[in-house]
Copies of this chain bind each other. A is one copy, B any other.
Amino acid sequence: MTKKYVYLFSEGDSSMKNLLGGKGANLAEMTRLGFPVPQGFTVTTEACTKYYNEGGKLTPNIANEIHDALGQIEGVVGKKFGDKNNPLLVSVRSGSRASMPGMMDTILNLGINDDVVEGLVSLTGNPRFAYDSYRRFIQMFSDVVMELPKSNFERIIDDIKDEKGIKSDSELAAEDFKDMVSRFKQFYKEKMGEEFPQQPEKQLLESVNAVFRSWENPRAIVYRRMNDIPHDWGTAVNVQVMVFGNSGNESGTGVAFTRNPSTGEKELYGEFLMNAQGEDVVAGIRTPQKISQLKQVMPEAYEEFTKAAEKLENHYRDMQDMEFTIENKKLYMLQTRSGKRTAQAAIKIAVDLVAEGLIDKKQAVMNVDPKQLDALLHPTFDTAALKAAEVLATGLAASPGAASGKVYFTAESAVSAAEKGESVILVRLETSPEDIEGMHAAAGILTARGGMTSHAAVVARGMGRCCVAGCGSLQINEEEKYFTVKGEKFNEGDFISLDGSTGNLYKGKIETMQAQLTGDFATFMSWADGFRKLKIRANADVPNDAKAALNFGAEGIGLCRTEHMFFEEDRIPIVREMIISKTTAQREKALAKLLPIQRADFEGLFTAMNGLPVTIRLLDPPLHEFLPKSDADIKDLSIEMGIPFEELKATINDLHEFNPMLGHRGCRLAVTYPEIAAMQAQAIIEAAVNLAKNKIKVTPEIMIPLVGELKELKYVKDVVTKAADDVIKASGIEIEYLVGTMIEVPRAAITADEIAKEADFFSFGTNDLTQMTYGFSRDDATKFLDHYYEKKIFDFDPFARIDVEGVGKLVETAVQLGKKTKPNIKLGICGEHGGDPSSIKFCHDLGLHYVSCSPYRVPIARLAAAQAVITEKN
């Protein structure tokens, strides 16, 4: 049997979404349930795939199927395509599996031509309606199918109105529309070099082709990448008998939601326009009325619609977004689908639907997109205030939330302004580890360079600071402390506002609203927690972040980056003293000064976490990150440290690396300078001992980074356990501790059976693992990755979502090999992927024990982990 590429609405149902697209499947389902749906047919998503496989051509057999389906529809409605005396007109709409606003617009009134329009005049006695319909069709077909922009036609309409001296479209008479049609056709012929197509079947096939073509337009590609929709899904095309909301004053059209999509309140929410076609509601020429007013205007239709809405919501067990048309008092349902909603509404609707008995908790948990929660967890701009604000530029939405404040250009000035109680926006070309304190003090961070995984972006997300990164249209002069954008100059102290969820930079101050973790939110999250098996930890380096993480429901710290502690003002001079030491003795002297500070750091963290597990990573970055780069800064430091400039500069030059990512860092530092690792281990265990004296039991997890070889791990582990055991012995207090490793170097994954011999736990550092598996530097890849998206080589950013085929394969290998050696080895992930829902599902399916992410992503991870259980295959 040959494959079927065209289905009548009466042949499908809602289970056939992959084949018919969302719109097509729901039209079929409504037909099946007896709703008043104008009939029609769907050309399947497989036809789209075939179209591309054939090099962008509709095969003759699909064209034949369309012809046949059209014939059947003609039979059903008793009208004929292109028949002047009883014409069938249709609409053509795209409809993929997932709702995709980036795609083709609708074409209405298809099937009309010079003959048919005359027939319509006779049949309806309404020449104004007939010619209005014709000119609309020409306009839409030209725009959507032939890519002749709408504005050309709007100009002709304006000409006619000018000639007539009228202002509003409603003043145009039938003759005017007739004139308009002929001018439109004239214009079309000039531009396209041929007459406007008069054969309805040609109009239809060209339109189907256009829908398929639109699947690959740039807007659609970008939208799919943003929303993780695979390119190979394809779109379906829906061809539906026209009903006319613009056929008189007893006709109309509207859209409505079964619940309020902003708040989630249970109320019919929407609007309608009498004597109008669908596009008029959107176009905003006339102001639509609230849906509740339809009750007065057309009570029977209203009554029928509210019943249909309720029935649909009950049937689909979710809030519905519906389109309808009333033609001469008769109601037609044109579409229904699950309605888009705000995060707040999503939570409320999910909780309410459970209370109403429509869905169970499992379904409720599945109904909320984890990514949406982000909006609930950060401050947002006041909606009204935002509308009035001027967008100066748009950068990358690097870390969500909204912030208003005064511009500062250095970490120091940001810190001192914040101490005075000012709200600060830190503006930098790009940030570096030296800016950490300034970033912490700021309400928001704005950079001109760097991508989604730049230093600014990663650190800001970790801190929950709003950040717009890589805002290339900014010209920043850091030395003279100003930036210009859109020809306007902003000095230190001027107000700007940032939206880290959209990437927008606004002029001036905009009011923000704090996040509310309300009752519904807590209820909903407790349901999610009931399902999930993965533990959720947070990446946190300081007690404040740890407390934020606990507040969001974290069950431990999966990654404490000790280097962040080293950058603080009171430590950096000692750290530098340690780095420029020429002998082990000198280095140990400096380390002895760091020891009590580090111990206090860990005491703070352990106290905040009150017995929950804390994984501490030993010093990771290359040492040159702690030293200045410019000659001026080196000179300052040489005076501060009392070292000759030339000597200091030589030391810094010696530390220079061609590829710092692949350089002297991670456990390689501990191999060269075991005394650093020993000091850190001593500080960790001493802190645990001190807490034990206060009856808080801590089991520190000491993590050795960048391991690629068993003997390397063994060497550093021996240093760590010796230092730790010495402390334990001296204290006389029993402290349990684990020593494990990051799996972030491909070789570690490949040889994980060996590595596991010396590791109590593996924590997958998927940031670096992704860098090394692809051979991409995060800092450099932004320059070329756009070409990869554009040329459809990559569907998504592998630093945001785990690359299952490559990086994921290595993770899977490491899990299998690690368990082979040590069946109960503790397994977690602490890369950026730990906060990404699809990556969390991957981690769950692999059987990891926990994921660790930024504190602000903890609720997202909790929900994603619950959904991973629910969608599990077994």
Contacts and interface: CB of A to CB of B under 8 A. Distances in A.
A529 B776 CA distance: 41
Contacts of A751: 805-806, 809
Interface string A648-676: 00000000011111111000100110000
A745 B803 CA distance: 15
A12 interface: no
Contacts of A711: 792-794
B793 A773 contact: no
Given A775-B706, A775-B768, A788-B712, A810 B750 contact: yes
Contacts of A708: 773-775, 806
Contacts of A780: 657-660, 662-664
B709 A794 contact: yes
Contacts of A860: none
A779 B774 CA distance: 20
A783 interface: yes
A793 to B, nearest CB: 4
Contacts of A709: 793-794, 806
A223 interface: no
Contacts of A766: none
Q: Which of A664, A747, A788 has the most CB of B within 10 A?
A: A747
A784 B662 contact: no
19 contacts: A657-B777, A658-B661, A659-B662, A659-B779, A659-B780, A663-B780, A663-B781, A664-B783, A671-B784, A671-B793, A672-B787, A708-B775, A745-B774, A746-B746, A746-B772, A747-B803, A750-B810, A751-B806, A768-B775
A791 interface: yes
A668 B662 CA distance: 20
Given A657-B779, A657-B780, A662-B777, 5 more contacts: A662-B662, A662-B776, A744-B775, A746-B806, A768-B775
Which has the most chain B C-beta neighbours within 10 Å: A660, A715, A774, A781?
A: A774
A773 B794 contact: no
Contact of A806 (B663, B750, B783, B788): B750
Residue among A658, A664, A793, A807 with the highest chain B CB neighbour number at 10 A: A793
Contacts of A867: none
Contacts of A810: 746, 750
A478 B708 CA distance: 39
Contact of A659 (B777, B792, B806): B777
Contacts of A783: 663-664
Contacts of A275: none
Contacts of A792: 711
A803 B771 CA distance: 21
A661 B662 CA distance: 9
Interface string A775-816: 111011101100110011110000000010111011000000
Contact of A747 (B657, B671, B806): B806
Contacts of A772: 662, 746, 772-773, 775
B784 A750 contact: no
Interface string A688-719: 00000000000000000010110110010000
A779 B715 contact: no
A109 to B, nearest CB: 41
A668 B777 contact: no
Contacts of A788: 671, 712
A773 B750 contact: yes
A150 to B, nearest CB: 30
Contacts of A784: 664, 668, 671-672
Nearest to A768: B775
Contacts of A774: 708, 745, 747
Contacts of A776: 662
A96 to B, nearest CB: 21
A777 B661 CA distance: 8
Nearest to A806: B747
A775 B745 CA distance: 6
A664 to B, nearest CB: 5
Contacts of A661: 658-659, 662, 775, 777
Interface in A630-664: 657-664
Contacts of A806: 708-709, 746-747, 750-751
A805 B753 CA distance: 11
Given A774-B708, A788-B671, A715 B662 contact: no
A659 B659 CA distance: 4
Contacts of A781: 662-663
A494 B722 CA distance: 55
A670 to B, nearest CB: 10
B664 A771 contact: no
Given A662-B661, A664-B780, A780-B659, A746 B768 contact: no
B775 A662 contact: yes
Nearest to A770: B747
B791 A715 contact: yes
A781 B823 CA distance: 34
Give the interface centre of A672, A711, A780, A792 by most chain B CB atoms within 10 Å: A780
Contacts of A668: 784
Contacts of A744: 775
Contacts of A775: 661-662, 706, 708, 744-747, 768, 772
A85 to B, nearest CB: 53
A734 B498 CA distance: 61
A658 B660 contact: yes
A414 to B, nearest CB: 24
Interface in A730-776: 744-747, 750-751, 754, 768, 771-776
Contacts of A662: 659, 661-662, 771-772, 775-777, 780-781
A658 B792 CA distance: 26
A486 to B, nearest CB: 21
A715 B793 contact: yes
A668 B786 CA distance: 11
A664 B793 CA distance: 15
A746 B773 contact: yes
Nearest to A671: B787
B779 A658 contact: yes
A783 B777 CA distance: 21
Contacts of A754: 805
B791 A773 contact: no
> Which has the most chain B C-beta neighbours within 10 Å: A662, A664, A771, A781?
A662
A700 to B, nearest CB: 25
A708 B809 CA distance: 14
Nearest to A714: B793
Contacts of A750: 773, 805-806, 809-810
Please give me the 7 A-B residue pairs with the lowest Cβ-Cβ distance, nearest first: A659-B777, A662-B777, A747-B806, A663-B780, A745-B775, A658-B779, A659-B661
A232 to B, nearest CB: 12
Contacts of A671: 784, 787-788, 791, 793
Interface in A536-592: none
Nearest to A792: B711
Given A659-B660, A709-B794, A773 B787 contact: no
Contacts of A805: 750-751, 754
A788 B672 CA distance: 8
Contacts of A779: 657-659
A775 B711 CA distance: 16
A661 B709 CA distance: 22
A415 B541 CA distance: 56
Contacts of A809: 750-751
